């Protein structure tokens, strides 16, 4: 039997090769076939989930909530020290110094990243802005969000903090951070589906011990841009899902 692995489309393109290397490492360690399928956007990935074509997924918090509650997935691990914070930025040459400077009718550049857009929208509330009085300009990547700002096609943009840090120094010098979230408990997680349940415990231990799997483990982690993995408990997952529910409501 072949299991299907996928990754939330908001991961850095710089690490595409790293996930393929991880997939090869994982198959060798598990002794079973795992196929890595990367999707260009969230809609395509969610359709694959609906079609029962996903058994393992490195998911963003928004989709993790759906997968756990509606599809019977279990969270087993999360990257060490990595939290999903959100940055709202504007062009350095704009008049905007803080979120409160944005006015109704503001154009906000965004990707399809659901948790970033949710948190970003909440962070606009101090300026009395909401989905009814702003305009969202869609972009397929965070680099293109930045491009909209630099070309003055948008007043501000939402970024996953990690993605903002991955922007080139040239791009970052042309931007100004207006605000950064400090939620701390919202994180991407590795999830396993019901069909993969017999391998769940072994998979979890493999992830938690990757740093010790010399010499391959650390090399694979470096290629993925991850420092390592830490255990994601049921309690951690439920707390994060409850928080996401609160933010959505």
Give residue 243's pLDDT band: very low, low, confident or very high (50, 70, 90). confident
pLDDT tens readout for residues 33-63? 999 999 988 889 999 999 999 999 999 999 9
Comparing C-alpha atoms, which of 180, 177, 57 is closest to residue 116?
Answer: 180
Domain identity same for 95 and 173: yes
In CATH, what number is assigned to the domain containing residue 157?
Answer: 3.40.190.10
Domain identity same for 67 and 108: no
Q: What is the pLDDT of residue 100?
A: 96
pLDDT tens readout for residues 12-36? 888 899 999 999 999 999 999 999 9
Alpha carbon of residue 13 to chain centroid:
12
pLDDT tens readout for residues 178-206? 999 998 889 999 999 999 999 999 999 99
**CB count in 10 Å sphere of residue 184:** 9
d(CA 89, CA 103): 15
Domain identity same for 227 and 172: no
Domain identity same for 155 and 190: no
Domain edge (last residue) among 180, 204, 229: 180
Average of per-residue pLDDT across 98-105 = 96
Domain identity same for 115 and 77: no
Q: What is the pLDDT of residue 133?
A: 95
Can you give the residue range of the structural domain that contains 10? 2-82+186-248
- Classified as helix, coil or strand, 212 is helix
Domain identity same for 159 and 236: no
Domain edge (last residue) among 156, 180, 204: 180
Q: Which helix (H) or strand (E) holds 191?
A: strand 189-192
Q: What is the pLDDT of residue 120?
A: 95
Domain count along the chain: 2
d(CA 183, CA 193): 27
Domain identity same for 76 and 199: yes
Q: What is the pLDDT of residue 14?
A: 85
Domain identity same for 93 and 37: no
- For β-strands 156-160 and 107-110, DSSP reports them as parallel
Domain identity same for 43 and 104: no
Domain identity same for 167 and 228: no
Domain edge (last residue) among 180, 214, 231: 180
Domain identity same for 48 and 171: no
In this model, does residue 249 exceed pLDDT 80? no
Give residue 248's pLDDT band: very low, low, confident or very high (50, 70, 90). confident
Residue appearing with tokens 């919202």: 186
Domain identity same for 90 and 139: yes
In this model, does residue 86 exceed pLDDT 90? yes
Q: What is the mean pLDDT of the chain?
A: 94
């Amino acid at each position: 039997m072949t299991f299907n692995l996928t990754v939330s489309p908001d991961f850095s393109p710089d690490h595409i090769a790293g996930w393929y290397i991880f997939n090869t490492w994982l198959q060798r360690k598990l002794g079973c076939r795992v196929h890595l399928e990367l999707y260009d956007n969230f809609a395509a990935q969610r359709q694959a989930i609906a079609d029962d074509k996903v058994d393992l997924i490195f998911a963003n918090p928004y989709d993790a909530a759906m997968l756990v509650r509606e599809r019977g997935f279990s969270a087993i691990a999360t990257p060490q020290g990595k939290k999903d914070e959100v940055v709202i930025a504007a062009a350095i040459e704009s008049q905007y110094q803080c979120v409160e400077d944005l006015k109704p009718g503001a154009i906000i550049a965004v990707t399809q990243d659901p948790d970033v857009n949710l948190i970003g929208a909440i962070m606009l509330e101090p300026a009395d802005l909401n989905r009814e009085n702003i305009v969202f300009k869609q972009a397929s990547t965070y680099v293109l969000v930045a491009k909209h700002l630099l070309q003055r096609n948008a007043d501000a943009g939402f970024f996953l903090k990690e993605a903002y840090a991955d922007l080139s120094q040239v791009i970052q010098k042309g931007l100004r951070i207006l605000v950064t979230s400090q939620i701390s408990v919202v994180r991407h997680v590795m999830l396993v589906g019901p069909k993969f349940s017999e391998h769940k415990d072994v998979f979890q231990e493999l992830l938690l011990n990757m740093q010790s799997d010399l010499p391959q483990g650390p090399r694979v982690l470096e290629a993925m841009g991850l420092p390592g993995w830490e255990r994601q408990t049921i309690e951690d997952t439920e707390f994060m899902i409850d928080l996401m529910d609160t933010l959505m409501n």
